[in-house]
Structure 1
């Protein structure tokens, strides 16, 4: 499955230039097409749907590992057995309360993989404020913590987060939908210069 990695600065610049780009795209569609990149193979990923008949599970604020999360996941499994989902969208706050400490953090298993067992399809994940906690749960102040969830993309069959900013077209050929995943945490982060200085994940220099 191919995805488009979105550089944060280029995204903002592109949004400002959208009005000028639309007439250009109408005259020459190929000019406005975003370049595709292919992620490293890593874990053998569950495939994205190849047809246009999609059923998408939307979830968020889920990564607690508690009985409540398991109860919701059990209900999803029951529905999936009768009306199968094609893929899932995770809207953030994936690992409560503070986010993971590294890509091998056992919280990924306890709060994502185990509760979602047998839900074997791609989960397109976005970062939430709890995934970037610095001092207080959900303060969104430590952006580098979110990078651990990006790194986990290489280790999980379900978890799809190749970058902090990316898009996914479904199906890959002749798509009927394109999902854009944006990380809004830098807007509110207490330590925004840290991410810029390291240049991690955003393509900044």
Structure 2
């Protein structure tokens, strides 16, 4: 489901409580970008990481699959990827990656793509390698 724009608002905190209450059996939360609205973060220890993610979603042990959005590119996306090493809940290893979940006789593969990189809306685009990875999938 969609998430309210991050910012530690009362609405966001209410959604976080509801998620924690209903998380039984949930394998992951899929987060599709604009993680730190409006200008991203500058480091993996930026106070906004705590105020809009860690402190808000502390009631759940469900991991989040993260990808960057256009607003994240106004900050330091590498810092968001680096936060993967500091949190058991935050999983953002690269600008594009896949994750497979298995349950009983069903497998689901999530392919996470940074479309800002893909569409060329960033100043240091390297789309050739990204298209190669997509073709391999």
Contact 2:99–2:111, Cα closer than 8 Å, also in 1: yes
Quote the offset at 1:154 in angstroms: 0.8
Q: Which TM-score applies when normalising by structure 1?
A: 0.55
Residue 191 of structure 1: how far off its partner (Å): 1.7
Q: For 1:179, what is the secondary structure of its paired residue?
A: strand
Higher relative contact order, chain-length normalized (CA < 8 Å, sep 6+): 1
2:119 matches 1:119: no
User: Where does 1:170-181 land on structure 2 (aligned, <5 Å)?
Assistant: 170-171=101-102, 176-181=107-112
Q: Which residues in structure 2 correspond to 1:1-205 (within 5 Å)?
A: 58-60=1-3, 62-80=5-23, 83-133=24-74, 145-171=76-102, 176-186=107-117, 187-192=119-124, 196=126
| Number of aligned residue pairs | 125
Runs of 4+ in structure 1 off by over 3 angstroms are 58-62
Residue 190 and residue 162 in structure 1: after superposition, are their counterparts in 2 closer, same or farther (change >3 A)? Answer: closer
- Please report the RMSD computed on the Cα atoms of aligned residues, expressed in angstroms: 2.3
1:60–1:92: structure 2 CA closer, same or farther, 3 Å change rule? farther
For residues 62 and 87 of structure 1, the distance between their equivalents in structure 2, rounded to whole angstroms, comes to 19
For residue 85 of structure 1, report the CA deviation from its aligned partner. 2.0
- The secondary structure found in structure 2 opposite 1:129 is coil
Q: Secondary structure at the match of 2:85?
A: coil
Which structure features the higher share of strand residues?
Answer: 2
Structure 2 unaligned residues grouped into runs of 5+: 131-137
Alpha-carbon contact 2:29-2:63 (below 8 Å) kept: yes
Query: C-alpha displacement at 1:117, in angstroms?
Result: 1.1
TM-score between both structures, scaled by the size of structure 2 = 0.79
Higher mean C-alpha displacement, 71-80 vs 184-193: 184-193
Q: Which runs of 5 or more structure 1 residues have no equivalent in the other structure?
A: 1-57, 134-141, 197-201
Separation (CA, whole Å) in 1 of partners of 2:101 and 2:9: 32
